[in-house]
Each structure stands twice: as structure tokens, then as C-alpha cells.
Structure 1
Amino acid sequence: MTLKTLLAGAAAGALLTSPAAAERGSDGEVRILYHQAPSILNTYLSSGTKDVQAASLVLEPLARYDETATLVPYLATEVPTLENGGVSEDLTTITWSLRDDILWSDGTPMTAEDVVFSAAFCMSPEGGCSWRSNYDGVADVTAVDEHTVRVTFDAPKPFPYGPFVGAQAPIIQKAQFEDCLGAAAVSCTEENFAPIGTGPFVVTDFRPNDVITFAANENYRDPEKPAFATVTFKGGGDEMAAARAVLETGEYDYAWNTQLAPDVLDQMAQSGEGEIIAAFGTLVERIEMNLTDPSPDLPEGERSTVAHPHPFLTEEPVRRALSMAIDRELLTEVGYGQAGRPTCNLVAAPESFASDNTACLEQDIEGARALLEEAGWTDSDGDGVREKDGERLSLVFQTSTNAVRQDFQALIKQWWSEIGVETELRNIDGSVFFGADPASPDTFQKFYADVEMYANLFDGTDPQSYLARYRCGEEPKPDTQWQGTNINRFCSEEYDALLDELAQTAEPARRQEIAKTLNDMLTADSMVIVPLVHRGRVSAKSNTLGGVVLNVWDSELWNIADWTREEG
């Protein structure tokens, strides 16, 4: 089956399989390979997908999204709604009833106090929580009793499923992390590397940026799961090696995010050891513009902070010209084929929330040149690089090390040179680029470059929390240990006011309208974010690995408790 056929079939549920019954630990070891190595296992302290997904083997939310994007209970007895009384009629509270059979992996019971603590941990201003936008608008979290938690919002919240929902907002154990609140969070190495959880596995050894070993959680709520006794979670290398290890050599059982040209993957799959799994979700490859100055001439702690605006990317005509010069159709053809779709939207899915903006899809080199010329950027000395007031249009363009991304960089550098922009390319190992080390100068959050390219996504189908990542104050900065979601340091009172309106809007059509407006403010209106490709999620699994259900709306490893070994 080719990647094209697979993506077409995914929409019809072609990836669903039924796991065979197995006893806990009876299937031995499962081997997982991520070409980006996890650097931390506390979800709240890293915005890297590889860290969130590795941690999801241990840490769980109250509810999450299944493969059909349906919200389902996990540590809660049901999903609260208006109909069942869990959401108040005035939409200001949501009350969660917890299962009474959930134990932490150390054998102690999970209670409402753990849930309350998890919110406090992420909402602490000095804690550097990467996913604080999931708690946007939360005024109070209270333990009503041992197994009931009430979340109160500061205004009516028609979509109250940010806190404790999805892989990005799990429950952590109060007893383990109570001395790690606020600024102390980043120094709690033992806790952050080996969290106690409620999931199907426990951490037995963690070597950051290398390998994690997990063992079946003996206190997991289903006595017959997980079927695997151990997990070896290897990180590092590249996409080519990861895909080959599953599809050709059979050395590994699962490879995540095999970001390779479709014909390469199809050729590998012909070896017969494994198969490609793919589906479209919310993943968008894009360029982020740094609105602050990343110059190394600034003192450490002041680079890429709002105290120092960028010398030329604060000019909208410059950002727009950079976008106009890009041929998204060609990028998609070169990098993804049928596994990609050119897009002008940050929120490209679900379709009901996607703006109809298509203006960026047509490359316009001449228009970009004219725009820069009109804005006063001219090549006065004939060296091919425009300048104005002594400032050259010269920028550093960084991304993670990846064959497709380096192809994109080369093409974009050429197009930018055609409009008079000089570009220095930088690529950084993905384990470092998407890491959580506040001391590293090379993380995408620190953003010590002018522009950077990567992709990320959001849990579920409602983009409210995702769009809230660009609220004023959510930018990474020294006093949050360089954690934060507002990567380009964008700030707009109008944008924040619309976010507040979205949070209080129940009518579906109006919610969609506001979300599209917010998307356009970041993209079409300002080009602070330059979307490139709406990417399909593409991974690889062994033919002997059963029970795998690709989920593009939550952690890709969301149902690892159901994985089994089958005869190949």
C-alpha cells in the first residue's frame, strides 16, 4: 500500500486494528525509535513533542482524544458536559469525578489533591510551564472531596476542556513534586527524569538525549495490560535510519515521524518488515518570525526578549515580502508529496476552523521586490543585499537537522536571495533544538536566530488553547527558564481581546469565525507566522506489532497499553 493510498484510507478508519488478548508482560520487549531524543519526562517543562509523547507512557490526563477526535474519559469516570451536569449552566465551572480505582505506580491512590496540585504546578508564574495556555482563564481549582475536582473560570467558558485534557495537560503526583513548585521546578532533576505516574509503564532508567527504559506498571488499573513487560525507547539519529530500522531491518518495532520523501518510504516498505501508517491532523510546518533582537552583541538574558525589538522583522512589509517569495507548492512536492498540502493557515484542521485564506499559495518574487523597495529597502551598493539606514537585510534561518528541512532551507534561501535578502542557514540536532535545557543557546524556545522553521500541533479539534499560546506574556524568557509558547514574542491587545471573546463564545459558527480571525491575525494580516505545509503524520510499525491505532489528535503513543506482539 503506497503512502498516497494510506492517507486516503485513513479518513475512513483504515488504520484500526483489534489487539489480541494478552497477559501483562507476556509479550516481552517492544522497541520504539524517535529520531529526536527526549530530554525530560515532565510534560509541563518541555514543549517538544518527543518529550510529551515519551512522558505519555507514564503520565495521563483526566480525559483525552481518541483516534476519531472524540473526547473520552481516562482518569475520570466521564467527560463533564452541560447535559450530565458536569458543566454549570452559567459555563463558569466544570466538575470532574475521578475514578476511585486509580493508583500511582508507587501504590498510593490518586486523589483530587493531585489534580489540584497539577494545575498549581503549571500555573505558577515562575515555573516555566510550557503548556500554561491549557489553563487560560482558570480562576480556581478546588478539591470538593477525595474524588471530585471543580475548576472555576474567570468568565463563562463554553469550551472548558483545556485543563487536565490531552497529553499536554497530565496529572502529576503531589507527593513527588510538592517541593518543585515555581522556580524550583527546573532543579528537580530526579522528579523530572522519573515521574511517578498512573500510566501503563514506569521509568526504570533515563539517559537524557539517548535512551529510556520502561517496565510494566504493576499497579496499572487493568490487570491484563500492558502486554509488553518492557519498553526500550531509543532517541537520536535521523529519520532515514529510524524508518530503515523498522521497515527494512526489523531492529525496532515503531518509528515516529518518519519525515522523508514518500517515494523513499514506499521503497523501504517493499522490504516486508513493516508498514507505513499515516493520517492528517493539525500538524503545520511553518516559519516563525522573531520580533525581538537575537543579536549575540546583547548581554545574555536580554537577547530575544521584548526589551529589544528586532531591527527589521518588526516591519510588516519585510515579513510579508519573505512570505511572498516562497513557493509552497514546490516545497510540498519536494518534501511531502501526497503527505502534505500547501497552506496559508496556522490552524489548517479541522476544516470547520480553517480560514479560506489562499493568497500565499502563489509565489510572487516581483511583488516581494516591489514591496521591499517601497518600504525603503534598496541595494545601493550592488552587492545583492538590500539595506536601509545602515541595516542590511541579512538574517539567520535555523531549524532542526532533517533532510526535508535542509532542502526547504536551501530553496527558501535561494528565493530570498532573489529579493535581496542574505540568509545564513543553521541546523541543530532535533534532540537539542526541541529540548528543554534552559542553559542551551540552541532551543527553538530561546530563538537565538531571526527566523526558524518547525512544526507543531494541538490536542483535539478545538484550537482555543492553541491560539492562546500567542497571548501577550506567554513568550519564553529568562524568568520562566526560557519556557513558553509565544515563540515569536508577538503581542496584541486586539488579539488578546478576541481570545477572551472566543473563550466565552458557545455558538459554533461564531467560535469558528473568531478562530479564523485569530489565525489570520497571526498569518495573512501580519505574517508573524508564515505557514508552509499542512503535514500528514507519518510513522512506521513492524508487521509483528499489533494494536497500534495512529492518533493525530493526542499522543501518538496514546494506546500503548493495548499494543501486542503478533506473528509476523
Structure 2
Amino acid sequence: MSQSPSPARTHVLRVAASALALGLALAACSSGSPEGTEPSASGSSGPVDGGDLVFAIGNDPISLNPSGTGSGNDTLYVTRQLVDSLLWQDPADGSLEPWLATGWSSNDDATEHTFTLRDDVTFSDGTPLTAESVKATFDDIVAAGAKSSAAPSFVGYTGTTVVDEHTVTVAFGTPNAAFPQAVSTVALGVVAASTIAVPFDDRADGAAVVGTGPFVLDHYTKDTETVLEARDDYAWAPEARTDAGAPHVDSVTFQVAPEASVRTGSLTSGQVQVIGGVQPTDIATLEQSGFPLVHRANPGITFGLTFNGASTLGSDPAVREAIGLAIDPTEVRDTALTDGFAVATSVLASTTPGVADVSEHLDSDPAKAAEVLEDAGWEKGADGIYAKDGVRLAPTLVWITNFSPNQTSVELLQAELKAVGIDVTLWSGAVPDFQAKLKSGEFDLVWGNLSRADGDVLRTQYSTAATNYYRIDDPELEGLLQEQLATSDPAARDAVLAEAQERLVSQHWVLPVHELTTYLGLSPDVHGVELGADSRLDQLTTAWLD
């Protein structure tokens, strides 16, 4: 074993510089400031303490349990403020840096990962962070199973051993090369014993959530707001960040405003100081009006269509291929977004470790789509829609409004497919209803994405041994997804990930369309708001108000 964070071992945990350089080049640069940071204020004398920050988000968090299942980015914006992680991933280069852990190491086959903890950290209830805290948190996640969003990171978990008060070893029965990056995520944030004592299902309202983070919950009102108060004694933010002390602001209020136009109006009228989910049509307007933008291309799975491998239509290779040929990703991007959002060249976004360009398998050819269907025995009916064996080619596509341009995108996809003879039914609902739909399998196609700064996101989404929402029956793909997890050498792992991406796209299980770029809009008197390596809101210890 070789001790991290020395370069010899953190190569397992770092993004290849060339991939990151490509991703950064493709990302939108609307303000000319470094990605993920707020443009510098001219004449500013430095951070000012005090004030209350109001941040408008598009969705209710649903669950403030860090390892629970919430509503995506908006949930993570809130929970990131409550809990810290063992490691911090630097958005500049993808490297993993110390946080609650001062050092870490992995054995040669990535079945054991040892973390040495700081000895000066306390939870918000005053109890100290110890190795037992980490063990209890991880065991709790594993016990929760599918209820926890972090469960896929613990595949093969055999237990966490408390070596001493400030050292833990996390062990797996099979290699888990992605685990060190996983511990930098919110879902694996460490919680106190008092939180573990409360049943997992009873933690959603946040009252039981006790973390070591820089903020604590004041109150949560469903569909209205979540109010957090700053901890005066917080002093252990990652040293690699610009500010390791207590928050400058006194409080943060996350207000729920589902309509993007309402969020933008609230910002320009001074009712809020930060907004998430800036719609593409507002980007130029805000910038030209003097409202700074924080932006970063999201790593992880691009926006696109994924088939349900267990549905009649989703399991049909000809149908999958035809739908892929019938859609035009560039037209979707140009209609629904701006050129700040890259057209996808893979199922993984350009800022993701292990990304590979598989665009040679991404063709747009409606005429060929018709040929593929007809060669497979599909015939057009009098209504212009293909049918076979009495079944109309009318797939159900499910989606949610967690990103404002989604409706434009799916409606355009619907029109493109209708022009070929495929009659898509669109279904949308609230996040809990959408999640229930995925679990039940009552769909043929899903429109969506998932941000994570590691190529293992492919396994957590598409492996039959993980969430298995997509029920993809492809042994070759499954083997690749498991192989990359067992490969500790970064170059070899990237090669396996490249094969997995090619398999997903060439077999038309996933039809990538466009990347996501996160945009936050700021009032001119707000500074220090940053996006992390996952392109989600980092901790607001650095934020301050004029």
C-alpha cells in the first residue's frame, strides 16, 4: 500500500489532463471568468461577514437526508451545506484532496481503502468526528439498500473496520476502484450517531440530520423554503479551497420557485440574490444587464434517451436503432438551448473522467430509420404510424421538469419521430411520480441525465446489479461495467469505460443528445459562489455579500 495523497496512488483518483482540457474547452464561457466561479468584483476589498443569502431553486428538495433520494441538483445544493465528505474533488483538475480525511491509501487491487481522519472536527451537536462515525454512516447506507442514493457505490461491501479512533479501512469483496471518488460526494457525507439512531425513512425533513458541515437546519417547509444557519465554529473546509473558515453569511434560504422565469424575475427585481437553473434564453439577458453568471459543463451522463430493455418496444433492436436515426441532436440543441451546451459525442459528457468520443455511432438519417423499421417487418398504417403484429409503434417517453428546456427538447423529439412514423406519447409528473414510474417499468424511453465526476456513473445507472431502472439485458455491457470497477490502473480503466460507452451507443441502449452546462445567476453584490467538480453548488463558506 502506498499512502495518498501522493501522486503514485492518486493517479487512480485523478482525471486525465487531456480529457479535462477537452471538456473545459467545450464548456460555455459566457462571462470570461474561470468555470464554476463568480466573476471577480472590480475594486472589491475582500470578503465581508454577515448578511442573509436568498437562493431560488426550481424543485423542493424532497429529502434532506444526504444519502436519501431527493429531487436531484436542488436537493444536493442544500444537503452539501449540511455534511462534509472524507475527500474533496478539485474541479480544476479532477484530483482528490484531503477534507475530513487527512490522507488515504488503496491496496493494489482496490478492495481496501484506508482513511486517516482529522482530530479536530465536531458535528453540529457538539460530538466529535471519529472513525466510528464513518463506519456507522457507511453501514447505515448499506443497510438502507435501494432507499439510499449512495447504495450503488458500495457494491461488494464487506464492512468498515475501525483501526483506531481516527483511522478506518473500508473493505470490498470485489475491487472498487471508484470508491475514493465516491466518498467525495454528498451522498457519502458523514453524519452523527444521533442521525443514525433515527430510522432512515424518518430523516427526510432534515430534523434528524446532524453533520459536520458549515450550516445547520433552521427549518424546512415543503414546497416553500429551506432555511440554514451558519456555524460559527466551522474550521475544516478543504485546504485546497480558497476559504477554510466559517461561513461569511449568517444564513442561507433556499426558496422553491418552479418557474424559471419567476426565478429570473426574482433575481432582477432584488427579491433573491442567487438563482439556479438559469434558462438558456435568459443567459445573455442577465449578463448584459450586469448579473454575473457562474457556469460549468456537467460531468456524468449527458441528456438523452435511454430505453427500457424490458418493454416490448425498448427490447426491439430495430426500434432502438430507428429512433436513434430519426432524431437530430444538433437541431434539439439549437432549438432548446444555446451553443453553450455542447452536442453530445458520447453517453458521458466531455468533463467526465474516462470520456470517449463515440460519435461515429451517432447518425441522424430519417430515411434510413424508415428502412430499418421496414426491414424488420414494420408497416405504416393509414394514419402514417408504423405497426407490427397489431402493435402500433407508439412508445411512452417519460421526463421531468428539473431543467427548464426539457419540455422543448422532448416535444421536438416527439415531432422528429412523428415525421418518421413513430407516435411518441409524452408523460411527465412530479419527481416522486417519475421515480415511481421508473421503478414500475411503465415506460419505453426516459429523457434525462445524471451528473457525477467519475465514469463509474455508467455502472450505477445501467448495471442490472445497481438501480436497474432500465432493465438492460446485455451481458457484454454488464461485464464491461463491472470490469472498469475492478481496474485500478487509470489508463486501463479508461479503456474499459470507452468500450462500455461504445456498447451503450452502438447497441442504441442510450441515445445521447446534448451536454448540460450548469448556470447560476447572481446579484452583483454576491461573491464567492462556486460550483464543484460535479458542477453542483459547492459549500457556501466562500460566499459573501457586499
Common topology (TM > 0.5): yes
2:471 to 489, 498, 505: 489
Task: Map 1:39-54 to 2 at 5 A.
Answer: 39-46=62-69, 48-54=72-78
- Matching residue's letter, 1:413: Q
2:495 to 484, 508, 513: 513
8 A Cα contact 1:60 1:197, kept in partner:
yes
TM-score by length of structure 1 reads: 0.82
In the aligned structure 1, how far is the partner of 2:523 from the partner of 2:384? Answer: 51
**Is 1:73 aligned to residue 55 of structure 2?**
no
Q: CA deviation at 1:153?
A: 2.5
> What are the superposed Cα offsets for residues 25-76 of structure 1, whole Å, 9 maximum, x if unpaired?
x422001111122111112221522212211110121112123123122211
* SS of 2:59 mapped into structure 1: coil
In the aligned structure 2, how far is the partner of 1:13 from the partner of 1:278? Answer: 5
8 A Cα contact 1:34 1:235, kept in partner:
yes
8 A Cα contact 1:377 1:386, kept in partner:
yes
8 A Cα contact 2:36 2:294, kept in partner:
no
In the aligned structure 2, how far is the partner of 1:354 from the partner of 1:555? Answer: 16
Q: Which residue of 1 aligns with 2:484?
A: 502
In the aligned structure 1, how far is the partner of 2:410 from the partner of 2:360? Answer: 22
TM-score by length of structure 2 reads: 0.85
- Matching residue's letter, 2:544: T
Q: Which residue of 1 aligns with 2:17?
A: none
**Is 1:208 aligned to residue 243 of structure 2?**
no
* SS of 1:329 mapped into structure 2: helix
Structure 2 unaligned residues grouped into runs of 5+: 1-25, 237-243
**Is 1:453 aligned to residue 409 of structure 2?**
no
- Matching residue's letter, 1:544: D
Q: How large is the Cα RMSD of the aligned pairs?
A: 2.8
- Matching residue's letter, 2:173: D
Q: Which residue of 2 aligns with 1:371?
A: 372
* SS of 1:242 mapped into structure 2: helix
8 A Cα contact 2:63 2:75, kept in partner:
yes
Task: Map 1:130-279 to 2 at 5 A.
Answer: 130-180=149-199, 185-189=200-204, 192=206, 194-221=208-235, 225-246=246-267, 248-261=268-281, 264-272=282-290, 274-279=291-296
> What are the superposed Cα offsets for residues 463-489 of structure 1, whole Å, 9 maximum, x if unpaired?
1254343221323xxxxxxxxxx3312
8 A Cα contact 2:109 2:486, kept in partner:
no
1:351–1:237 distance in 2 versus 1, CA, 3 Å:
closer
Structure 1 unaligned residues grouped into runs of 5+: 81-85, 292-308, 476-485
> What are the superposed Cα offsets for residues 173-203 of structure 1, whole Å, 9 maximum, x if unpaired?
23322342xxxx224455x555111111111
2:308 to 276, 286, 290: 290
Q: Which residue of 1 aligns with 2:239?
A: none
Q: CA deviation at 1:160?
A: 4.1
2:456 to 464, 485, 490: 464
1:14–1:96 distance in 2 versus 1, CA, 3 Å:
closer
Q: CA deviation at 1:138?
A: 2.8
Q: Which residue of 2 aligns with 1:539?
A: 520
In the aligned structure 2, how far is the partner of 1:377 from the partner of 1:201? Answer: 58
> What are the superposed Cα offsets for residues 47-106 of structure 1, whole Å, 9 maximum, x if unpaired?
52221221111012111212312312221113x2xxxxx223554322111111111111
Say which is worse superposed, 493-502 or 513-522, in terms of deviation: 493-502
Q: Which residue of 2 aligns with 1:102?
A: 121
Say which is worse superposed, 104-113 or 445-454, in terms of deviation: 445-454
8 A Cα contact 2:398 2:434, kept in partner:
no
- Matching residue's letter, 1:543: P
In the aligned structure 2, how far is the partner of 1:452 from the partner of 1:20? Answer: 49
Say which is worse superposed, 52-61 or 490-499, in terms of deviation: 490-499
1:140–1:13 distance in 2 versus 1, CA, 3 Å:
closer
* SS of 1:282 mapped into structure 2: coil
Q: CA deviation at 1:366?
A: 0.6
Q: CA deviation at 1:335?
A: 2.1
1:266–1:251 distance in 2 versus 1, CA, 3 Å:
same
In the aligned structure 1, how far is the partner of 2:441 from the partner of 2:197? Answer: 31
Q: Which residue of 2 aligns with 1:554?
A: 534
In the aligned structure 2, how far is the partner of 1:488 from the partner of 1:444? Answer: 8
1:348–1:146 distance in 2 versus 1, CA, 3 Å:
same
Q: CA deviation at 1:6?
A: 2.5
1:530–1:509 distance in 2 versus 1, CA, 3 Å:
same
* SS of 1:353 mapped into structure 2: coil
1:561–1:443 distance in 2 versus 1, CA, 3 Å:
farther
8 A Cα contact 2:27 2:297, kept in partner:
no
1:555–1:20 distance in 2 versus 1, CA, 3 Å:
farther
The count of aligned residue pairs is 508
Q: Which residue of 2 aligns with 1:393?
A: 393
